[in-house]
Amino acid sequence: MTRIAIVTGGTRGIGEAISVALKEQGMTVVANYGGNDEKARAFTDRTGIEARKWDVGDFDACQAGCAQVAEEVGPVDIVVNNAGITRDGTLARMSYDDWHEVMRVNLGGCFNMAKACFPGMRERGWGRIVNIGSINGQGGQYGQVNYAAAKSGIHGFTKALAQEGAKAGVTVNALAPGYIDTDMVAAVPEPVLEKIVAKIPVGRLGRAEEIARGVAFLCSDDAGFVTGSTMSINGGQHMY
């Protein structure tokens, strides 16, 4: 039986690596994206994975997008909530829109996608939801009250929803990446990046593929006894 997975923010960076890893496990993957049509087409040409566009922060768009996938591809067994944005700034400089948009997409997207797919998973007696948190949701980060709050919220959301799915064969877990060598991290000024790497015990940035392998495990049959957990993949930068 082929599992069907949706990976949000699935055409770039960590999301692309997750989409590819799940495909390599034999799953049928649909990669959701929110913005760049050209990069999405290039992703599909490169990987053979279908990309579909909708805004995960829009409740109705998620309902429609997931229903269309279920109708045209098949019932959704796996959701990886990876889509995320940043609008960094200290509280003094942060606008309400900067706060709201990060919460709407990063945390609201998890609710919207779960609301669309979780009931069907429970009915069928099997499902996997993996929410991508962050080291900065665990330990905080200067200039990121919006991002840290949203990612911290993801960890609480995960634990609560896991309790609702457990008896129905639906696991809900989070994965908290540390600093990974992606476009988002590449935008950090070099002197700042050097200071970040200096605080990582293994002495380097992570690779997207290392996050993807963790997600692939949590999405597998082998992970059926793992739920409500947060897997931290951060090179030892934050331990608790």
pLDDT tens-digit map of 28-43: 999 999 989 999 999 9
185-224 pLDDT, tens digit each: 777 888 888 998 999 999 999 999 999 999 999 999 999 9
Higher-confidence position of 85 and 70: 70
In the chain the beta strands, taken as DSSP E runs, fall at 4-7, 28-33, 50-53, 78-81, 127-132, 170-177, 230-233
What tokens does 30 get? 């649909």
Q: Which of 33, 96, 142, 147 is catalytic?
A: 147
Distance between CA 61 and CA 113 in Å, rounded? 10
- Examine the pLDDT at 113 and tell me if it is beyond 70: yes
Mean pLDDT on 52-66: 98
Rounded to the nearest integer, the mean pLDDT of the chain is 94
For the chain, helix (H) and strand (E) counts, in that order, are 10, 7
Quick one: how far is CA 239 from the chain centroid?
Answer: 21
- All structural domains of the chain with their residue ranges: 4-229
* pLDDT single digits (tens) 143-163: 789 989 999 999 999 999 999
The side-by-side arrangement of strands in the sheet containing 4-7 is 50-53, 28-33, 4-7, 78-81, 127-132, 170-177, 230-233
- pLDDT at 240 > cutoff 70: yes
- Terminal CA-to-CA distance of the chain, rounded, Å? 38
Nearest Cα to Cα of residue 87 among 105, 64, 61: 105
- The first and second tokens of residue 36, run together, are 């760049």
Tell me the residue length of the chain.
240
Per-residue pLDDT for 98 more than 90?
yes
Q: Which residues pair with 80 in a beta bridge?
A: 7, 130
Instruction: Report the half-sphere exposure of 56 (CA within 13 A, side-chain side).
Output: 30
The count of C-alpha atoms lying within 13 angstroms of the C-alpha of 59, restricted to the half-sphere facing its C-beta, is: 3
Read off the pLDDT band of 138 (50, 70, 90).
confident
Of 195 and 63, the one with more pLDDT: 63
Q: How much is the pLDDT for 238?
A: 84
Does the pTM surpass 0.85? The reply is yes
pLDDT grade, residue 134 (50/70/90)? confident
Split at pLDDT 50, 70, 90, the class of 225 is very high
Q: Return the H-helix or E-strand segment holding 186.
A: helix 183-186
pLDDT of amino acid 137: 66
Instruction: Determine whether 147 is an active site residue.
Output: yes
The CATH classification number of 4-229 equals 3.40.50.720
| b/e map 34-64, b = 16+ CB within 10 Å | beeeeebeebeeebebbbbebbbbbbebbee
Q: Which two tokens stand for residue 93?
A: 């400089």
87: pLDDT confidence band, cut at 50, 70 and 90? Answer: confident
pLDDT in tens, 100-111: 999 999 999 999
